[in-house]
Amino acid sequence: GENVEQHPSTLSVQEGDSAVIKCTYSDSASNYFPWYKQELGKRPQLIIDIRSNVGEKKDQRIAVTLNKTAKHFSLHITETQPEDSAVYFCAANCNTGANSKLTFGKGITLSVRP
Amino acid sequence: GAGVSQSPSNKVTEKGKDVELRCDPISGHTALYWYRQSLGQGLEFLIYFQGNSAPDKSGLPSDRFSAERTGGSVSTLTIQRTQQEDSAVYLCASSLAGGGGLGTFGSGTRLTVV
């Protein structure tokens, strides 16, 4: 099955700097890669996603890039703000037929220092 | 409803008792997922329902865990003879279709087995 890994487990940046969070996946058939943000005590929220037919997607201060050859994808946050502090989960799945089970990474805790 | 609704929000139970957790998905969402999140950990897949198809139960950790989805809407996750290691936040999510991953998470049920 799919295996998704996130490294490192924690990341600390200065407010205003950029943050890059990386994930790797194992199943070359995976074709959908969402990112979720989970603030303390709250539910995970989808913040951006990418499909395997594109290499990059942007939405204001966040972007996601995908390298299918290397089987890794990254979340980029520019001009970080304290409210970006949260746990970020990446996930991958193979969107074929009825099987859309997402496999999540263990999460990265991002701390933005004011 | 406006979002995915889960009940109860918190449940404390004695070891060995059975518990039922409820998920009410967004109206019209055909796909429903249960995930489990232990303290400080990632999201562990439990079970996935898509329309009238047989559910994907591959994530259920033992035969003490079972889930039903009645009428293609409300789902109940049942844990029999609870153990302390079952303590976690149980999250439900739903989406419009099976493809493309998750849409929206509920706020979860925090289960504590004492």
Please report, as a single letter, which amino acid is at residue B68.
E
Confidence at residue A18, expressed as pLDDT on a 0 to 100 scale: 97
Tell me the shortest Cα–Cα distance from B13 to chain A, in angstroms.
21
CB contact under 8 A, A100 and B31: yes
Tell me how many residue pairs between chain A and chain B have CB atoms under 8 A apart.
65
Provide DSSP, B75-104: EEEEE-S--GGG-EEEEEEEESSSTT---E
Low-confidence spans in chain B with pLDDT less than 50: none
Q: Does A89 touch chain B (CB under 8 A)?
A: yes
CA distance B47 to A89: 19
Residue of A nearest to B52 (CA): A98
pLDDT in tens, B36-65: 999 878 889 899 898 888 898 989 999 999
Confidence at residue A99, expressed as pLDDT on a 0 to 100 scale: 53
CB contact under 8 A, B101 and A42: no
